[in-house]
Amino acid sequence: MSLFDKFAPLAAARADLGAHGTPPVATPIEDIISAAEGVIGGRRVILAGTNNYLGLTLEPEVIASARESLEHFGTGTTGSRMANGSYHAHASLERELAAAYGWPSAMVFSTGYQANLGSIATLAGKDDFLLLDSDSHASIYDGARLGAAQTIVFRHNDPANLDRRLTRLGSDASRALIVVEGLYSMLGDQPPLADFVEVKRRHGAWLLLDEAHSFGVFGATGLGLAEAHGLLDDVDFVVGTFSKSLGGIGGFCASPHAELELMRLASRPYIFTASPSPAVIAATRTALARVVAGSGLRQRLWNNIDKLYDALDSFGYRLGSDKPGPVAAIILPDRESALAHWRGLLENGVYANLMVPPATPKGLNLLRISLSAAHTPEHMDRIIQAFGQLQKAA
């Protein structure tokens, strides 16, 4: 017997994806040419499988902020926020995030994963209840495991199912935290947020909205789906990440409740983790200013979104969502066809994401395209042309 025996099914699944050629999982990107192009397998390709939604990773102003901070403050803080890791810039970013929402409080975490882990596990304690959408991200489920609340899972994007589960709680619903996402990254689908808000309000529960993939994309100032639907005043907590539209790494939790500040004293992933490096914080502050100012990046992104969704629909592909967004998930009948599509796109100079069970909801085999404002009209034409050739060959 071995500690590694339990990984045998995973090794077999990896082998099924092919042992030769460019690996479709954890694909090595050998070089970055621009926010929209890189080198894979020695070939220049369009990067259509990143979450660089606004293309800010190589924005000169963002890089300049990071460089200046790196040269002045060094590579890291070497401590947690509760010790020596709270620099002035960390607090400034928190104030700027809170101000963007018009709320009194925001907390910055070292990763987006830890933002969910630290917020969910701390907000819902042993006498409380967590109600999670069944398609929730791993960080949300892990936050539930880390905490001591009773966890109840409701059907994906089903407010009626959530309503029935809250009804069973009766007056205990006032100690229930509902967690939904603004955009589900596997299928690219969105929640019926207004319906969830109505259920939450009727039962006196609390609502946490994970805007990791919707922040920067939706809303007049890019604050996400809640802003786009005029529901910011109805959300109790927003969790977001810096690693998508903001082009860095880190995460945050913001709230209209000033009591969020107390969570700093109890959130283990916040207390016991080294704080983000000063360069990351500086870059994020500059990127956040660009997002909130609305520099036209969102319009460029949405032009690309509409163009791709229209093309994929005309080709007859089955998509994971009927509402366009920055993620276009193409549902394919089996692992073999999904892998063939992934390799076919790469041969045509387009890198996408291959998503297969057990990592996908409902055992689906997916090819996922993530769009960016950095994709030019020529990039979009090449992506669409590649799909057209694959469809003809099918």
Q: Which of 137, 200, 213, 341 is catalytic?
A: 213
Instruction: Check for a shared fold between 5-58+296-393 and 74-293.
Output: no
In the residue annotation, 213 being an active-site residue is answered as yes
- 244 catalytic per annotation: yes
Q: Is 171 noted as a catalytic residue in this protein?
A: no
Q: Look up residue 160 and give its amino acid.
A: A
- Beta strand 353-355 pairing with 129-133: unpaired
What pLDDT is recorded for position 264? Answer: 97
CATH class of 74-293: alpha beta
Catalytic position from the list 110, 119, 185, 372: 185
- Compute CA distances 292 → 98, 221, 224, 242, 251, whole Å: 12, 5, 11, 14, 17
pLDDT, position 394: 63
Distance CA 310, CA 76 (A): 45
What fold, for 5-58+296-393?
A: Aspartate Aminotransferase, domain 1 (3.90.1150)
Predicted confidence at residue 358, as pLDDT, reads: 84
User: What's this model's pTM, rounded to 2 decimal places?
Assistant: 0.96
* Nearest CA among 197, 136, 127, 203 for reference residue 165: 203
* Tens digit of each residue's pLDDT, the chain (394 residues): 899 999 998 888 888 887 678 988 889 999 999 999 999 999 999 999 999 999 999 999 999 999 999 999 999 999 999 999 999 999 999 999 999 999 999 999 999 999 999 999 999 999 999 999 999 999 999 999 999 999 999 999 999 999 999 999 999 999 999 999 999 999 999 999 999 999 999 999 999 999 999 999 999 999 999 999 999 999 999 999 999 999 999 999 999 999 999 999 999 999 999 999 999 999 999 999 999 998 799 999 999 999 999 999 999 999 999 999 999 999 999 999 999 999 999 999 999 999 998 888 889 999 999 999 999 999 999 999 999 999 876 6
Cβ burial of 158 (10 Å; 0-12, 13-18, 19+) is middle
Tally: H helices and E strands in the chain: 13, 15
pLDDT at 294: 82
- What's the pLDDT score for residue 175? 98
Query: Are the CB atoms for 287 and 66 separated by under 8 Å?
Result: no
Using a 10 angstrom Cβ sphere, with 0-12 exposed, 13-18 middle and 19 or more buried, the burial of residue 42 is: exposed
The distance from CA 24 to its chain's CA centroid, rounded to whole angstroms, is 20
The domain segmentation of the chain, as residue ranges, is 5-58+296-393, 74-293
> Of these residues, 137, 203, 244, 379, which one is catalytic?
244
> At 338, which helix (H) or strand (E)?
helix 335-347
